[in-house]
A and B are shown apart, each in its own frame.
Chain A
Amino acid sequence: MASHNAEIRGRSFGDRVLFGLVILLALAMAGPVLYVIALSLKDNKELMVDPHSVFHMPYTIKNYIDTIGTSNVFSWVLNSFIVAGGLTVLTLILSSLAGYGFARLNFPGRDVLFVIVLLGLAVPEQAVLIARHQIFSWLGLHNTYPGLILPGLSSAFGVFLMTQYFRAIPKELDEAALLDNASRFRVFWKVLLPLTVPAQATLGIFTFLGAWNDYFWPLISATKKEMFTLTVGIASTQQNFAQSQGIGFLMAQAVFAGAPILIIYLFFQKYIVTAVSGAAVR
């Protein structure tokens, strides 16, 4: 990270103003989250009587205990993990195979098929949602994990990314292995695939986050509460505050819901950042 702008030198008035602005923005970023955490640590009844009580003692972890006892947050998080994880693994496999196929191998109709796949990039989810919903009804795929994973698997983004990446690898590596009588698959598996780890990371992270955050499709497909993903589950708690368990409890659920992904983010920051920046270097 060699990046020393002239801006670093000197602590001028302008510097302080900019610094102040950044701090202000940082407060705006952190404020709502801290507020939610504070709310989750207050007794529901106390909040109903005086909302300002969130700013001072007493704090309690009762809401967290109640959440562990009665909330469905854990099943929602688990479902999201299964769907996002499953989709990520399958996407990496299918996209790598197809990417290699399009980049390195020749078969009848290859170029035409690749253009068609590329066109698939332009199709937004909403253009196919309604039809997919009908089709999945016929196939009985609603309220199943495959039903939540298959739509994402059809995205062309992964194939596009992997094809580009494979294309960038020098052909000499292939040819050296092929001369040693390796099969196509072996070339793929032993030689080229290990070289694509950065692309795999990028693809994996984007796919995981995309699936984790998906709301529209699970909303209309996973309608049974056992199958609720995190997005649908949290949305279902939001609707009618008066008929719910109280704001403190809701916030505790939200904390449980947001914590896993935030923890993952904090641990894998470096890789996520590299992966995301990698996408920009195109």
Chain B
Amino acid sequence: MTLRKLFLATISAATVMMASPSFAATELQVQRFFGACDADFGKNTDVSKAVGECGIITSLINKFAADNPDIKVNVTTVEWPGYDQLTAQFASGDAPDIVTIHESALSDYQSKGLLLPLDDLLKTVGVTPDQFTDAAKEGATKDGKIYGLPIDNWTMLYHINMDLFKKAGLVNADGTPILPKSPEEVLAQAEQFKQKTGKPYFVQNLANETALFTRNLYTYLFQQNSDFFADPKKVKFNTPEAKKVVEMYKAIYDKDYTTKNLDYAGAINAFLAGEGGVQLNGTWVVGDYNAQSEKPGTALNKGGYAVYPYPQLFSGAKAQYADGHTWAVSKKDRSPEQTAAIGKFLKFFADNDFEWSRTGHLPAYKAVIESPKFKALPHRDTISAIATLGKPLPSAVQRQFAIQDIVGEEMSAAISGQKPVDKALADMESRVNELLANL
């Protein structure tokens, strides 16, 4: 190509570029977990048709994008909980604009000055902290400011296959399931269940897992009034209370009252196929399980599906471990259009919290949680207590997800018999303290 031709080509290219519309769409980089389900919900904008966390959040974002053609939403789905990636992104200066962060992980990023305080931005779109539920407000506030728009609070639940419970004779006269009131009763009822149905009482995901163990431990430590994080920098796990909890779960494992070797997906499939009585899972599957139970021919449809908070097994505080999800915003230099777009996104989610709560999560807004619409959702009556039962770790505790991995690893080792319980608790304590001491 001659020099002249090249010159002309460059000029025309430049002209074309300059002739494009003077406003370009504002682009938002959104990052979230909750799974990928593009095959089913990739283009769906009718949120009421969506079921489950993945379906509902995909549809919500699609609807937001459809309602706001001048905002281009670029969504990245990451594996739960996505913090490895997020940290790497912050470290390389490449963080997304809006990202899902658990309330328990907010302070890790906020304390490094990576997140934008949202009080002012939210005020401009009409969202104020007094609209949040107390739990949501507390979880999203760090150092007196709001660092994430709360969208829910969640906790763990007893998901029950009523058909098997009936077979096991664990149902009251009024049709409600009989739940244990002490560790001894857990073992007794599990034994009865095994005798009468031949299946394990619990369906647990014990493989490739850490979170479940940790949440179980925290819940039952709360219930024994064990103040294990009295000092947020030094944890006490090597206690008789912790030992009681671990030994209970170990007995459940040893006596085959639980499924073994299932990972998270496997446990869900097993429960839906009727392989056990109680699945220990969270608020986020209530919607899915309920939908399954309405399908004829499924195991949950046969005798029904019920869901309850964790039973109170000890005489201490009435509590169980809870956390919540928020949309956090990275601190960056932004144009006013971009900031406004972020404000719109947050307002959209604040307004649509009812749809999100159809998953089973507890809404983060007083208006929603008190609305008849929410209360009328299936099964919310049996789990309504979690609004007051749910309790997170003290907010001054850092690196809660790293701690969760350590606790989960050690507890799993103790329960499966790899390590003696005392050694596992001692190692748990020393490893967590070593982590916290070297932050």
Contacts and interface: CB of A to CB of B under 8 A. Distances in A.
Interface stretch (B105-113, B218-226, B261-269, B371-379): B261-269
Contacts of B37: 243-245
Contacts of B91: 133-134, 137
A246 interface: yes
Interface string B63-100: 00000000000001111100001001101111000000
Interface string B36-62: 111110100000000001100000000
Nearest to B263: A241
B35 interface: yes
Contacts of B36: 237, 243-245
Contact of B35 (A133, A220, A243): A243
B34 interface: yes
A165 interface: no
B273 to A, nearest CB: 8
Interface string A236-260: 1101111111100100000000000
A42 interface: no
A191 interface: no
Nearest to A246: B39
Interface string B259-298: 0000111001100000000000000000000000000000
Contacts of B42: 69-70
Contacts of A239: 79-80
A259 B92 CA distance: 33
Contact of A236 (B79, B92, B264, B265): B79
A143 interface: yes
A223 B39 contact: no
Contacts of A240: 35, 79-80, 264-265
A142 B42 CA distance: 28
Contacts of B264: 240-242
Interface in A151-208: none
A255 B424 CA distance: 42
Given A224-B76, A236-B79, A249-B39, A243 B94 contact: no
Contacts of A237: 36
Interface string A18-46: 00000000000000000000000000000
Interface residues of A, number: 28
Given A137-B93, A142-B92, A224-B94, A236 B35 contact: no
Contacts, number: 71
A140 interface: yes
Interface in B18-40: 29, 34-40
Interface in A56-85: 66, 69-71
B40 A245 contact: yes
B80 A70 contact: no
Q: Which of B34, B39, B94, B265 has the most CB of A within 10 A?
A: B39
Nearest to A243: B35
Nearest to A227: B94
A70 B39 contact: yes
Q: Which of B34, B36, B54, B91 has the most CB of A within 10 A?
A: B36
Contacts of A143: 92, 94
A145 interface: no
A225 interface: yes
A52 to B, nearest CB: 13
A183 to B, nearest CB: 27
Contacts of A136: 92
Given A70-B42, A223-B88, A243 B54 contact: yes
B109 to A, nearest CB: 15
Given A137-B91, A243-B34, A246-B39, 6 more contacts: A223-B88, A236-B78, A241-B263, A243-B53, A243-B80, A243-B265
Interface of A: 48, 66, 69-71, 133-134, 136-137, 140, 142-143, 220-221, 223-225, 236-237, 239-246, 249
Give the top 7 A-B pairs by smallest Cβ distance, nearest first. A243-B35, A242-B265, A239-B79, A241-B265, A142-B92, A137-B92, A70-B38
